[in-house]
Structure 1
C-alpha cells in the first residue's frame, strides 16, 4: 500500500484526511490547509453553507434544514462527494488554480494501516475528483514516523503511536517497513464520550462534546497524579428539568473515568511488543515510544504508558501535523532511501 519514495517525489500535493481534521501540503508552499473535517449543508437546496472551523461551530446549533456532516470517519472517506466539495472550499481558488496548471497532477494521501481496498478506493476517488491524474497511498504510521523525525530507514526498532480521533494505531518500524502493527478503535472521541457519560451519571448533567474542552485543559494543567481534588466549573443542561445548570466537577473523578477507554490502548501496546522479535523489543526499551496525532496530548496518557510498559514515552513537537508533514518531506525529497543491494557472488 505504501508508495515508493521515487513515486512520491513526482507528486504535487499531499492530503491527510482525518476524522477530526483535514490537512493539505503543497510542494513548495508547505502546509496550506489545517481545518476540521466538517461541512454544513442546506438540505433543501443541497448548497454547501460552510466548511472547516465555522462549520464545526455550527454543530448542535443549526435549524432543521441545515445538516452538519463529517465526510470522513475513522480515517476512511464515507461520503466521497461531500469530501470533494469540502476539500475544494478548503483549498480555495488560488491554490486550486495553481494545482490545475501542473501537467499530470499527482497526489499523495495517508490511509490507515488496516484500510481495506474499498476504503483505499474511496480516498483515491476523492482526490481524482479534485483533478489528480494519479494518487499514491502511504501508510499513516510510516508518514507520521517520517514527519516527527524518527530514523525509519535504519535497522533499529522505532515504535510509534498515532493517536487519532476515532482510533489509535501502533507499530514497530525497521528498515523503512512495518514489522508489526495494531489498530485499537479508541481515540479522542471515546475519551470525550467517557467524560460526557460520567457527568450524566454522576451529576445528571447533559452537555455537548465541545464543552469537554475545559475539563481536558484542567486535567492537563493538574497532571495525571495531581495532589488533592481540583474543581472545574462546567455548564450544561439538567437531565430532569431540561434547564441550564452549572456544576463544580472534581477533575480527579473525571481522570478515573477516562482511564477505562485508555486501558484498551495499553493492551494494544502490550500486544505489539509481544509479537516483536526480542532484538527489536530491546531497541524499543532503549529508545522508547513516540506519540503523535491530535489525541497524543490527552491528559495522563503518556504517564499511563510509562507506568504500564516501563519504557520512555515521548510526544512529538507538533504531534497533530506529523502525518501530513511526513508526506510533505517525502514529496520534497528530504528523505533519502536506504539502498539494499544484493551482494555479488
Structure 2
C-alpha cells in the first residue's frame, strides 16, 4: 500500500470518482453520496441545471443549449472544474458546512492502477478545490479488496477483478501490496456499445444508450449460456425511416456480440496468472477470483470466467460500492496491518 493506514485514519472523507458513479464516504456518517457522475449545464449562462440521477435522465433528451457532461472518464478526472461543481452539489450545503468545520480537512481518493501522474494530480486538485488540505491516494484494487472482506494484509494470495464502466482492473494481492496487476480499457460501456452496434448492423435499429440495460436484464435468466428464451423484443428507431420500430432479437447473436469485448478481459486474467509466482497461483486455485464493480453483475460473466480459468469465481455482496466502503473501513481504523517483528541477532 503506497500510503500508510495511520495516514488514512487521519482522513475525514473518502471519495470514489468513477466513470459511471461518484461515491462519498464521510467518517462517522458512512456512505452519504452514491450518484451517477453526470452534470447538466446551461451553455448560455454557464449555470448548473442538474447533477446525478436527474442529469443522467436528461442524456440524449436535452435542447441544444443544455449540455450533459461527464467530468470523469475511465476513473480519471478529465474536467476538474466540472467535477468540483458536481461534487459540491452532490454533497449539499449541510454536509459541506460540516466538513468545512474540520480544522485541517483530509481526504482519501481511489485512483486506477498505474494511473499516470497527470491523472493523479487531477484527482488531488478536484478535492483540494473543495477544501481538502491534504489528499491521500489509494489504489482502487486495494480499496476494493478491503471493501469486499478479502484478507489483504495476510501472506496468502487473493485475486480481485474490478469491473468498471470504462476499464477492467485485475490484480493478485499479498501482504497488503499488489504482486501483479493489469488494467484493460474494456468495461461495461464497451459491452453496451457492442450491443448497440450489433442491433444497428443486423436489424437497422438505433437503440438509445439507456435502453441497453433492459436488454441485458432480458439476458439475465440465461446470461451468456445457451439456454433460456431464444428471442427478445426490443424497441428503437429505424435507421432508414427514423420511425419507432420493434424487432425480435436473437439472444444467441447478442450473446456472441457481447463475447467479443470480453475476450480482452479473459486475456488480462491469463496475463496476470502467467506473471504470478507459482506458490500464489496454488493459493488462487482454492480461493478463486473475487469480482467487484458495477459491471460484475453482467449476466453470465462469472460463469464465463469459471469456464475459461477452471477457478472458482465469486461476486462480492455489494460489488458496486466495494471500493468506497474499503476506503471507509481504512478511515475508521477497522483494518489492522500485519505486524512483522524483526528477528533478534
Are positions 1:128 and 2:106 aligned together?
no
| Cα pair 2:222 2:228 within 8 Å, conserved | no
SS of 2:221 mapped into structure 1: helix
Paired residues for 1:98-109 under 5 Å:
98-109=98-109
| Cα pair 1:229 1:252 within 8 Å, conserved | no
Deviations 1:233-257 (A, max 9, x none): 2111101111111111122211111
Deviations 1:174-216 (A, max 9, x none): 0000000000110000000000001001110001110101110
Deviations 1:223-272 (A, max 9, x none): 33242543222111101111111111122211111000001000000000
| Cα pair 1:218 1:232 within 8 Å, conserved | yes
| Cα pair 1:25 1:33 within 8 Å, conserved | yes
| Cα pair 1:215 1:251 within 8 Å, conserved | no
Deviates more, 1:44-53 or 1:230-239: 230-239
Are positions 1:170 and 2:151 aligned together?
no
SS of 1:236 mapped into structure 2: strand
- 2:38 aligns with 38
Once the two structures are TM-superposed, the CA of residue 344 in structure 1 deviates from its matched residue by 1.6
Deviations 1:268-288 (A, max 9, x none): 000000000000000111100
CA–CA separation in structure 2 for the residues paired with 1:147 and 1:184: 22
Once the two structures are TM-superposed, the CA of residue 111 in structure 1 deviates from its matched residue by 0.1
Tell me the TM-score normalised to structure 1 length. 0.99
Which stretches of structure 1, 4 residues or longer, exceed 3 Å deviation after superposition? Answer: none
CA–CA separation in structure 1 for the residues paired with 2:227 and 2:80: 49
SS of 2:219 mapped into structure 1: helix
CA–CA separation in structure 1 for the residues paired with 2:297 and 2:12: 31
Deviates more, 1:228-237 or 1:281-290: 228-237
For these two proteins, the number of residue pairs brought into alignment is: 345
- 1:329 aligns with 329
- 1:61 aligns with 61
SS of 1:270 mapped into structure 2: helix
CA–CA separation in structure 1 for the residues paired with 2:224 and 2:119: 37
SS of 2:220 mapped into structure 1: helix
- 1:12 aligns with 12
- 1:190 aligns with 190
RMSD over equivalenced CA pairs, Å: 0.9
- 2:338 aligns with 338
| Cα pair 2:161 2:289 within 8 Å, conserved | yes
- 2:278 aligns with 278
Are positions 1:292 and 2:296 aligned together?
no
Tell me the TM-score normalised to structure 2 length. 0.99
Once the two structures are TM-superposed, the CA of residue 161 in structure 1 deviates from its matched residue by 0.1
- 1:155 aligns with 155
SS of 1:221 mapped into structure 2: coil
SS of 1:110 mapped into structure 2: strand
Unaligned runs of 5+ in 1: none
CA–CA separation in structure 1 for the residues paired with 2:37 and 2:227: 38
